[in-house]
Structure 1
Amino acid sequence: MNQVEAFEGSLEICERHASRLHWAMDTLSDHFPLSPTELEELSDLDLAVVDQFIVRFSKLQDAMGAKLLPGVLELTQEHGELATFIDKLNKLEKIGAIESAARWLRLREMRNQFAHDYPDDPEIQASLLNKAYFMAGDLLEALEHVKAFSKPYRQRGE
């Protein structure tokens, strides 16, 4: 499998997560911003959609960070001696593949916050969900930006 094929495979996975994230966001849009009381009163179906939102946000951010962004560096031949993830992010920002390394780190931190469960604190849960709901737009924009940036490199490699 060549670099373009590998990148396209990673992109397809990211687009699948993005599509499902969009669906969850659209389905939940009437509930946001979410208060702690509203969170406790959500139906089982709405809670399942909240779970879908969390999973897809996390999976999209993770897939982009683990596969797609390193794939951009491979496509552009910019991978060089980039030992740390922040080095890679800074290179991606410098070449225009992402808008901001700091913004990407905030998205990663949001994903990491989902790993901590606060089942007995609806205030913290609602706050995290509200923050993530509004940051999800940044995540989806980052995916679109990477797609647009990488398009000429993908076409050259066909």
Structure 2
Amino acid sequence: MPFSLEQYLQIDKITSSFIDQLNFRFSKLQDTMGESLFRAIMIMSKEDVKKMTFIDILNRLEELEVIDKNEWLALREIRNEIAHEYSFNQDEVVDTINIIYEKSDRLVNIYKSVHTFVKNRLLVK
């Protein structure tokens, strides 16, 4: 990694399954954090989430210095590319795989940051 187009065209089924897992897990972690974890943090913080839009939640998490909203939205765009990847353009497929690989560590680090925030500021000691 990163793949060139030539390398991508020569991958075997095992490597392909690893790539599929990377894509799936990136998407799943991004979805779960965005759809469940962030809202739960707001509830634990005693915020009224009933009237909050997702962007409101992101803005509040940024105010609390939990995440960087723009970075999160950029990761969301990458996740959306995976979810809607019907491209027959192999260059686009390779580019998306490489971006996911590059950004995976950042997504995991955001998760760790969120975990630390919850542990240090929201859990009763």
TM-score (norm 1): 0.73
Indicate the larger mover: 81-90 or 52-61.
81-90
Matched, 1:148 2:105: no
Distance 1:139 1:79, change over 3 A: farther
Name structure 2 gaps, 5 residues minimum: none
Taking the aligned partners of 2:72 and 2:93, their CA distance within structure 1 comes to: 22
Stretches of 4+ moved more than 6 A in 1? none
Taking the aligned partners of 1:107 and 1:79, their CA distance within structure 2 comes to: 26
Answer whether contact 2:59 2:69 (CA < 8 A) is retained. Answer: yes
Equivalence map 1:3-14=2 (5 Å) = none
Taking the aligned partners of 2:89 and 2:11, their CA distance within structure 1 comes to: 15
**CA-CA distance at 1:109 after TM superposition:** 0.7
**CA-CA distance at 1:151 after TM superposition:** 0.3
- Aligned CA-pair RMSD: 1.7
Higher relative contact order (CA 8 A, sep 6+): 2
Taking the aligned partners of 2:114 and 2:43, their CA distance within structure 1 comes to: 13
1:7-65 Cα shifts (integer Å, max 9, x gaps): xxxxxxxxxxxxxxxxxxxxxxxxx1111111111110000000000000000000000
1:54-97 Cα shifts (integer Å, max 9, x gaps): 00000000000011111111111134565321111000010122
Answer whether contact 2:39 2:49 (CA < 8 A) is retained. Answer: no
TM-score (norm 2): 0.91
Taking the aligned partners of 2:103 and 2:17, their CA distance within structure 1 comes to: 20
Alignment equivalent of 1:104, drawn from 55, 60, 72: 72
Indicate the larger mover: 106-115 or 146-155.
146-155
% identity of equivalent residues: 32
**CA-CA distance at 1:117 after TM superposition:** 2.5
Instruction: Count matched residues.
Output: 125
